[in-house]
Structure 1
Amino acid sequence: MKKFIAGTQRFVRDEDGATMVEYGLMVALIAIVCIATITTIGTRLNNVFSDIASSL
């Protein structure tokens, strides 16, 4: 039983898993921002090219 309690305490103190979760959340947030930015730029660029095409 002492080994089980010691193992549980080590698991609770171990922060490697929390660090990986934080990195995963940061990567997900960066990906969401990139996708939103590319979508917005794509829409605006499409409007610019449509205006140029209608002017010609």
Structure 2
Amino acid sequence: MEGNMLKKFIKNEAGATAIEYGLIAAGIAVAIAVVVFALGSKLNTLFSNINTLLP
């Protein structure tokens, strides 16, 4: 009985798939954060310059 349950547990890949999707989402979130951090000051300067040009 226990051997059969162990085989089912080893063959079950649903948890692994969820973890993989979680890691992909975390990687995308980190990439977005890096881009926003890198471009944040440049965008702030750009919008400040545009704001000074507007009447």
TM-score of the two chains, using structure 2 as the length reference: 0.75
Task: Quote the offset at 1:41 in angstroms.
Answer: 1.3
Distance 1:20 1:28 in 2: 12
Match of 1:30 among 28, 31, 55: 28
Q: How does 1:1-56 map to 2 (within 5 A)?
A: 3-48=1-46, 49=48, 52=49
CA RMSD of aligned residues (A): 1.6
Q: Give unmatched runs, 5+ long, in structure 2.
A: 50-55
Task: Quote the offset at 1:43 in angstroms.
Answer: 2.0
Distance 2:38 2:2 in 1: 53
Q: Percent identity?
A: 31
Task: Quote the offset at 1:44 in angstroms.
Answer: 1.7
TM-score of the two chains, using structure 1 as the length reference: 0.74
Q: Give unmatched runs, 5+ long, in structure 1.
A: none
